[in-house]
Amino acid sequence: MKKFIYLVLITITVASCGGKEGSVDSILEKGDLSEIKAKKAELSTQQKELKVKIDKLNTFIEKEEKHDRALLVSTQKVTDSVFKHFVEVQGNVETDQNIIIYPEFSGVLTNVYVNEGQRVSKGQRLAKIDDGGLSSQLAQQETQVALAKTRFERQQRLWNQKIGSEIQFLEAKANYEAADKAAQQIRSQLGKTIITAPFAGVVDNVIAEQGQVVNQGQTEVIRLVNLSDMYVKASLPENYLNSIKKGTEVNVRLSSIGEEYEGTVRQVGNYINPDNRTFDVEIAIPNKDEKVKPNLIATVQVNDYTNDSSITIPESILQENSKGETIAFVYEPVTDSTGTAKRIVVETGLTYNNKTEVKSGLKDGEIVIVEGAKSVRDGQKVTTKN
């Protein structure tokens, strides 16, 4: 086809120029200026017509050559591999040991024994409230207990010797027990004047000031935090209940401190929130350097689907035809560096991280066209750069 086009081009050129050469010479010999100008105008018109014809021929030639030229593409061999899909939600960092301590006794806060940022152990004294005379009451009551005990023991010895009446013995016993219980109650009340740490942790904030009047169960005194047992709580839609269990793989990203963690779900909630149809999951996260703080925002990726033997391809190479089918192009080699593109219809599954799972249409070991996939045609010659 190309040789025929070039031959036609040459024939037209020769016929247009060579056939008129003699008449031009004869006109020049005559020397008639008006006839020479007329001949020049005639040849100029013929030249324009030839140029238009030549341009058409060049356009056709370029089109044919482009059609026959191999398109440069890159390819990728598909293999069976593990495909994991993750659902991404937002979570919140929490700890169960993050509390504000309230007093169990009303009175004046006489002493605060700790400072903000101080580490304390479980049971350590944090503050003291004025007991309002309970110490004196306890001392008096303990004297009464000692006296009642002495009387009871003496009456018990007499009773064992069959001396005295049973009523005297029982009255002594009852008096001693009543006095002892009264002392225990005062001790219990007195113990509430001492505020102690319910767990080991760090004093995050001393809220009440020394000398301030505090009320039982109302006045905030100290915030105590333990950063060793941190976890992330996130809410997931109820349709993921069947795919997310205890031990499910999870990735946690804390952007504010630039940290990422790999872990597992340690607890799945048993309650569906009726307001947003979600359930909660908890993920434990390490905190050796105590950079993780309560209420940090976390990005949580939960593995809801895994296929241990799956074929995946880049999402970007997939197209859709007029029938709504998903198509891709595979590379069929002809020589070491050239081949043809073949269009195939594939059935796809889930997509994650720009990789799409192919359920059918591709086999292990086949080669797909990656770069150039959107420009290639079915059956087109291609050459690979890889």
pLDDT of residue 3: 45
The verdict on 103 and 217 lying in the same domain is: yes
Do 233 and 283 belong to one domain? yes
Claim to verify: residue 92 and residue 76 sit in the same structural domain: no
Number of folded domains that form the chain: 4
Q: What is the CATH number of the domain that holds 177?
A: 2.40.50.100
Confidence (pLDDT) at 100: 95
Domain, as residue range, for 34: 2-68
CATH number of the domain encompassing residue 316: 2.40.420.20
- Give the pLDDT score at 21: 47
**C-alpha distances in Å from residue 359, one per residue of 311, 350, 353:** 7, 10, 17
pLDDT tens-digit series, residues 278-336: 999 999 999 888 899 999 999 999 999 999 999 999 999 999 998 999 999 999 998 88
- Is 5's pLDDT higher than 50? no
∠ Cα 233 204 220 (to 5°): 95
CB 294 within 8 A of CB 95: yes
pLDDT, mean of residues 221-245: 94
Specify the pLDDT at position 58: 78
Looking at the structure, tell me whether residues 217 and 240 fall in a common domain. no
At 366, which amino acid appears?
A: E
- Kindly indicate the confidence band of residue 225, based on its pLDDT and cuts at 50, 70 and 90: very high
One domain for residues 218 and 260: no
Residue 129 has pLDDT above 90, yes or no: yes
How far is the C-alpha of 280 from the C-alpha of 70, rounded, in Å? 56
Q: Are residues 217 and 102 in the same domain?
A: yes
Per-residue pLDDT tens digits for 64-97: 655 557 789 999 999 999 999 999 999 999 998 9
Report the C-alpha gap between 188 and 168 in whole angstroms: 31
Largest CA distance in the chain: 178
Domain identity same for 210 and 264: no
Any idea what the Cα angle at residue 260 is, between residues 255 and 265, rounded to 5°? 115
- Give the pLDDT score at 64: 62
Tell me which residue of 245, 280, 292 sits closest to 265, measured CA to CA: 245
pTM beyond 0.85: the answer is no
- By percentage, how much of the chain surpasses pLDDT 70? 92
Nearest alpha-carbon partner for 284 in 298, 256, 264, 260: 264
pLDDT at residue 19, as a whole number = 44
Q: In angstroms, rounded to a whole number, what is the distance separating the alpha carbons of residues 55 and 53?
A: 5
Write the pLDDT tens digit of every residue in 254-285. 999 999 999 999 999 999 999 999 999 999 99
Q: Is the pLDDT of residue 213 over 70?
A: yes
Task: With a cut of 70, say whether residue 359 has pLDDT above it.
Answer: yes
| HSE-CB of 341 using CA atoms within 13 angstroms | 25
For residue 269, what is the domain's CATH number?
Answer: 2.40.30.170
CA end-to-end span of the chain:
33
**Please, which residues have CB within 8 angstroms of residue 383's CB and are 6 or more apart in sequence?**
70, 71, 72, 73, 337, 338, 339
- List the structure tokens of 143: 């004297």
Identify the pLDDT of residue 39. 83
Indicate the helix (H) or strand (E) that contains 301. Answer: strand 297-314
Residues 143 and 187 in one domain: yes
pLDDT at position 386: 61
Q: Are residues 255 and 272 in the same domain?
A: yes
The pLDDT tens digits for 163-189 are 878 888 899 999 999 999 999 999 999
What would the mean pLDDT of 359-369 be, rounded to a whole number?
Answer: 93
**Considering 290, 306, 322, which residue would you say is the last residue of a domain?**
306
Q: What is the pLDDT of residue 166?
A: 86
User: Where a domain ends, among 306, 338, 354?
Assistant: 306
Q: Is 307 helix (H, G, I), strand (E, B) or coil?
A: strand
Which letter, b or e, does each residue of 68-98 get, where b requires 16 or more Cβ atoms within 10 Å of its Cβ?
Answer: eeeeebebbebeeeebbbbbebebebbbebb
* 367 phi/psi in degrees, rounded to 5: -115, 125
78 and 111 belong to one structural domain? no
- Tell whether 214 and 104 lie within a shared domain: yes
Nearest to 232 by CA among 259, 265, 205, 208: 265
Tell me which of 224, 240, 255 is where a domain ends. Answer: 224
Residues 312 and 290 in one domain: no
HSE of 48 in the Cβ direction (CA atoms, 13 Å)? 5
Compute the mean pLDDT over every residue in the chain, rounded to the nearest whole number: 88
Question: What pLDDT sits at residue 67?
Answer: 55
CB–CB of 214/208 below 8 Å? yes
